[in-house]
Structures are given as structure tokens and as C-alpha cells.
Amino acid sequence: MNQSKESIVRIDRPFRLSNGTRTYPAGDYEITTEHEQLGDFTFEAFRRVSTRIYLPPVSGQIGIGEILEIDPLELENLTSKASR
């Protein structure tokens, strides 16, 4: 059984992802983290399977945007820089 958790993060500066093709503007971004359940324990245990960021389409362009896999450490660096 997999679980998904959505959250919103604020990134205060323009940024470029290591697997992205362009620079994205500062703003609020939707993050989805998916976990899968481990084994058949007497308690629930999960491990992270993926972390994805939704990047809306470029302003003025028609489209649905893109969803990219993001390394959780890269995401943490982007959001911690925003809080300095």
C-alpha cells in the first residue's frame, strides 16, 4: 500500500533544478512525496519512494506544466536558502 502526501513549499529566489531545462521563478510550489509500506510488521513502517515537484507552465504559454522528480536534499537546499 502506497501513501502520498502533498505539501506546498515556498522558494524565494529563481532556481534551476539539476534535472530541469530552465530557470523557474520564485514562488509557492506543490510537492508530492510517495511512500510505500514495508513488510508486515506489528507497527506501520514506510520508506520514501519518490519526491516530485509540480512546475506550472511558463507565464503566457498554454500547457499543463511539468512534474519532475526532485532529490529531497536538493529541495531542502532550495527551501532552506529561502528562509535565510
Q: What is the pLDDT of residues 45-84, one digit of tens each?
A: 788 889 999 998 877 777 788 899 999 999 999 987 544 4
Q: What is the pTM of this model?
A: 0.78
Cell 510550489 appears where? Answer: 29
Q: Where are the alpha helices (DSSP H) in the chain?
A: 72-82
Domain-by-domain residue ranges, the chain? 2-82
Cβ(75)–Cβ(10) below 8 Å: no
- 35 pLDDT above the threshold of 60: yes
